Amino acid sequence: MPYVPDIAAYWNHAAATFDLEPDHGLKSPAVRAAWAARLRAWIPEPGADVLDVGCGTGSLSALAAEFGHRVVGMDLAMGMVTAARAKTGSTELVVADACAPPLAARSFDVVLARHLLWTLPDPRAVLRSWTRLLRPGGHLVLVEGCWDTPDSGDGPGTPWAYGVPAAVLADAVRPLVARVHTELLTDPALWGREIHDERYVLLAHI
Mean pLDDT of the 14-34 span: 96
What span, in angstroms and rounded, lies between the C-alpha atoms of 26 and 184?
A: 20
Exposed / middle / buried, residue 178 (Cβ in 10 Å: 0-12, 13-18, 19+): exposed
Distance CA 40, CA 20 (A): 24
Tens digits of per-residue pLDDT, 124-176? 999 999 999 999 999 999 999 998 665 544 455 789 988 999 999 999 999 99
* Alpha helices, DSSP H, located in the chain: 3-14, 22-25, 29-42, 59-66, 78-88, 123-132, 166-173, 188-191
Mean pLDDT of 61-74: 96
Q: Please, what's the largest Cα pairwise distance for the chain?
A: 45
The answer to whether residue 39 scores a pLDDT higher than 80 is yes
Confidence of residue 95 (pLDDT cuts 50, 70, 90): very high
- Residue 24 has a pLDDT of 96
CB 59 within 8 A of CB 87: yes
Return the ∠ at Cα 156 (arms to 151 and 160), rounded to 5°: 70
Please give the share of the chain, as a percent, with pLDDT higher than 70. Answer: 93
Q: Give pLDDT, residue 152.
A: 44
3-state class (DSSP) for residue 144: strand
**Beta bridge partner(s), residue 144:** 200
pLDDT-based confidence at 185, cuts 50/70/90? very high
Distance CA 7, CA 1 (A): 10
Q: pTM for the complete prediction?
A: 0.94
Average pLDDT for the chain: 92
Is 7 within 8 Å of 76 (Cβ atoms)?
yes
| Strands lying side by side in the sheet with 49-53 | 92-95, 70-75, 49-53, 108-114, 134-146, 198-205, 179-184
Q: Residue 57 to residues 36, 149, 162, 182: CA-CA distances in angstroms?
A: 16, 23, 21, 25
Q: What is the pLDDT of residue 88?
A: 87
How many whole angstroms separate alpha carbon 135 and alpha carbon 159?
28
Is the pLDDT at 3 greater than 80, yes or no? no
Q: Which residue has the higher pLDDT, 8 or 67?
A: 67
Cα–Cα dist 118/161, whole Å: 5
